[in-house]
Structure 1
Amino acid sequence: MAADTFLPPKFSKARFESILREQAKVFRQNLNFRNAMLALAGSDENAQAFFQLPGVGIGAFAKMVNLPVSTVRHYIRLGLIEPWEVEGRYRFQPVNVRQAQTVRMWRELGMSLEEIVRRKQKQRQTDPTLILKDLIQKVPHDTGQTGALGIALVRQEVKNHELHMHTDIWSGNQLPDPNTQIAEEAARLREIMHELREEYRAVRERLEKKKLEIEERISQVRLIEDELYKGV
């Protein structure tokens, strides 16, 4: 399958535990964040598990989404599920539950894994933050003062966009300090949630189309059924 292997964000155990403790605190205190996590995790029990040390490992996550561990690993390699890596071990977040469910929905609609991967890659090619970050990587660093200014402007656009996403996630009076670790993860979470909203919208549209097709077929079958009764 033509897809780059996903490389998860890596954290030390100390940093991961620090982020998890801060997330748990915000989960208790910020209603907006709590509601978002409940919607992603699917239940209060699931959501609570994600904010307890040592975190949700691959076995617990696989059970949560009703998939074999081997399938979860395969989806991770394809970038369809994006956990964190903590000293060589995967640790999952509520958003990963919805990622797994999105794959399942597309599969039920007849898409292959390769098609799902291509769709996700195409979607990310139009993401403004990723495009801006890619520009930073492609601009040569020794282009003189004008080039340096251009790079600085692009970097500022990235920061502005991420701050906007971060504010969107933490809408409320308890907005975390943008310099904290959790602020970085809030921005990443916002990106993934945007992708998920687009995925669910696309799935809904596909289901609605299939519903119309099925309803049309039912109408045709009923007409034939009525005609057959008339002939008796």
Structure 2
Amino acid sequence: MSQWKTLFQKELVEMWRNFKWIWVPITFILLGVKEPLSSYYLPQIIDSLGGLPKGAVIKIPTPSSAEVLVQGLSQYTTIGVLIIVLTTMGILAGERKSGVAAMILVKPVSYSSFVTAKWAGSLLLMLSSFLVGYFSTWYYTGILFEWIPIADLFQSFFYYGLWFTVVLTLVIFFSASLLNPGMAAFLSLAVVIVVSLISSSFSNWLKWSPVQLIDYANKLLMTGDLSEDILPTVLIALICIVILLIISFSIFRRKELAS
């Protein structure tokens, strides 16, 4: 346990030296506040652009607070996922390519401890950044529109965070399998896009797909109700995370021993 703790602390320090603890949360905050501010000030923004006939009156229906919050969260499922992939694509591939992993694993360090410490460090950064960003979205939505119940905030945060954890673990898997971080990022994004498209196209048959966590969280925010399929979806997401991690251990160990 002390070995894993040391590796975990090393990962946190390394991310601090790379300024990830600064720019990643700031980026998530900017993503979070953009939607409520733009929705609230949209009439003024359009009016300031000009080009409308004299005497024209702009009437834009005021969105509900839940709609604003869901639209704000959509930024995390696109740009946020891209940030997660780009910040973790070289977490194993880069260290294997540079030889850092070989130097560390020469010591009595288990491959599982090495991989899980890096996974946990990246997970902490991702969830912390998403939390401050999501809280910013919720706060500005409440100030400018209406307040969403705090219980719904934390429930939806859990479901979104679980989906992001699946994405993060998928990146770890490809990073362990490949030496090229760029290829790991490309394949991770490709899989996420394909799975998302298939799950949305065949949602009636793929109700338990981890991608559906996003829809179930949005439904909770919009209606206050949870889907009856949420529990099996959460379980399958957790199983996917565990399986991907176990396969990552095996692949990373085999490739390091082969080299």
Higher helix proportion, which one? 2
| Structure showing greater Rg | 1
Query: Greater RCO between the two (CA within 8 Å, min separation 6)?
Result: 2
